[in-house]
Structure 1
């Protein structure tokens, strides 16, 4: 293989080193780069700059952007990735020295994919969900939590949130012989991937069946010491042959994930001791009666608390929590009383927004309540606890629910610029309170500001846009206003802005008139831009030169 030596010689007239080189991260995919122009001799001014950048991990390919100024916005970068930047100046005599190199990391975003999950059942009323971590290159940040979604074909999805280090969770309180669809999302500090925007693949799992005609066995628990309990049970009249029993025990109220401890015994056993339990913890025990082919022919659940045998136990929390959004500000919340020998008198509901530590509590004498005065399109954590006459138990694991969308506030920072005598460009920023997902903006314009909205001309713009060009205007003066729309409807209009097209060559606002672009005074010539005038004169001179050349050629041919 032939090799050659390349020697780069920097000439005396080449540009100097770049100064004050700065890289500012704007988002997960965009940075702003600026610098002070390089010094150069009068004979050899700087013609352009090249911005060089490369991703530190995953690719060694350096990319380059040619820049004629001293700043640039660089977009389409990878989320939460480290990049290295430097810049060079170029003159007629050659390139200057490289600037100092800067490394920055783009901001976090939501993960680009979802975890893969596996499901099993240890009883007809639970599903053990286990998932794998997302590959590092698809996380787009640091995973801080997970959400577990589960639903039936006809029900709204229920949501449980757990910590980032949890990779398995036991979903309880389910119906037997029922198809459930499950999904797990990983989230960063920015949030979670959108369920609505992606066709994520839900995992189907059918819970085991149970014969509803057969009576449930009687199950009781007795504390032996601080970490040991004794279970004993008896059967009613069961026509099916009994081959054995399966006892499943798991902790509840655990945010670190739950797994079930399962023990099977023969048909002659009616007592079972369990030790190694944690003190002052709530557990759910599920006893299943097994027939041929491990068919479940009887089942009973029981909630209990491990405690000092000389002290009374606290009442367990309610089960089967069901929040349901009724509107953008109200949620219906219901639950089932726990199966316990203690007498439950009333309940306390606790709720807060998912990212707020301030909690609101409300008393309910019934196992249901309607919560109002909530914020639109907002996730809430909701839990409930049981009260006896003298004591109360702990709150249940929270369930998540999001209120329905509301209408947004008006767009703001509206700017209008005349592009010609019949076209204007509008730009704006999103409403301060979106109250949902913006699906569109409606631009209204009219010659008379006093008319009702149905008499204004309307143009719809995609919800991801923040600018638009309005064409085919035929008068000198127009009035504009904007509305933002969610799926709940359109919000209020922005303030009306008057636009005078004739001579309007700068940004227009409600209290500004067309001004000369350089002096700031009103233009008596209607504000024809100097650039346009120069183009017109240049084109005229060029066209005249071409005509003269053609005439000279024709005369010579004669």
Structure 2
């Protein structure tokens, strides 16, 4: 810049960036010159006020006697020329290094088995401390169940008894460490189911495994469902997936697995009380599949009549098994229907194609095979063989061109051409190729430079590697490398392939693919004769957001689908009304995620409360026994709405009288016939009946009538009367006989 004019304010000693350890003193110097003497002030660049414990030395310098982390920041020195608006500034950063300190320590917690524990640990310090965890003094590694999050928090899913212990959060930077400890206690309730037995897994295909198990030995009848867990068997930071499984299922097909990969599976049983121990684990390998990607080709020529083809084997996640062989197809660009194929072994990474025509454009592709078969071939890659008549000055193509594809870059390595003594350097070109572009278009004919997105990138002759950056993930690119000399460019080595795809998963790991588990502690409570409250709690664990619940209910024991009703509730309870009185209903609840429904939980049963009978006793029948008695038969009401405690029998010879003028008889609720005595003979009587629960009486039946029998002589002289007459006649005869005997004896004595 320009020199200040005489008398302008200038800073002659500017503050310098300073780093101190917390507790040490720090001085920021600032000396300014002007006439008259300038006024110097200090501010913080972030707008915060300068701490009150900061001292100004000698009117210009800044002293911080005991530096602390809050003193860190950029300080700006401003020098003003008095009585003018002239000023200049200078800035410097103060960095205060500090030992780590735990600002939020983890807390001791108790959790039930199979639930989730979260320990929060936040640390401060400068430099920012790295946080890691120990369990009982031993380093804790992330795996499917145990995750150390980027924030430093520790999350343990599917807690088992083995997870109980002391967890230490350790914060560490270059100055030292800080530590905080918390305890995890694992609660096991009585009456839990034991672990599922005999877990087995069979690979059905390259992506599907059938997992089966047997129900637990103890408390099996209380199970409401199972959860199946699996993750890759190899690696330290694998994601554990879980499926919720209905309680009447003991097998599940796990799909969407990676081919030729080892997975470990285990099963947990759930009752209303909680989770069982985990079952024993089993490892199974999925079957091989064809490779999902072809190797990426590089082409170069050593002579006008050959093409050297080199490639890198596909990585394990793309090979889907052991590569057993490769197939290379090639033809001239103008004779695309005359393709020659060559197979080489799975250990090969290069082959030279001989007996080719000079100065011709060839296209080449490659496919890899496992024991299952060949995968899709690579894109066609074009290459022009050298011209036989013009080899003296033309550099050959660079050799061993290899490209390591990353997500946003391509790392290119090569070796010099055979006649490298003649070369001055290299030119590198690349372009993005749409997969829909015709492979017959030849960028190698005509003004080829114009068809490249980027290039030439000129490189010195000693350079043997270069990285192309700022590329798009998962895109097809073509790379061309030529050596050049003072006369002309040499023949090209070309490569075509894709950058790595961006990971599908976000910052958070993939979550459970399976449906959510059903709610726990489902409880039904009778509310009235026509309604029942149903209440439940969210499942103990779920990695799927539950948006609502579906309640299924029907009269108990009935399998008629038309009687099954479904309700949806976003709350953890629902009042189900419109039910029949004193009827046993069965209920089940399922959890619903976004676009995925879980299984229904175990069935709970409940009666509605009783009510008055809504129908009278049925099938009332009357039968006269004699002139004075009638036999009454009946059946229970069709809708008793409770336990019948009493039957009411009303009868009268005059059916026009009100009910309270009729004669009332009552019988216990378990009796269905009775005799009514004391009636008049040859009389029409009218009967009607009602039934009664503890709540009250229901309606009376329609009136039925019966005619008592007419009296007969046998009805007048009944057996008792006849017996009395016979006895009286006999006694009279005995008296007459006795008198006659007495008279006869008295006449004899005279």
Whose radius of gyration is greater, 1 or 2? 2
Q: Shared topology, TM-score over 0.5? A: no
- Taking structure 1 as the reference length, the TM-score comes to 0.38
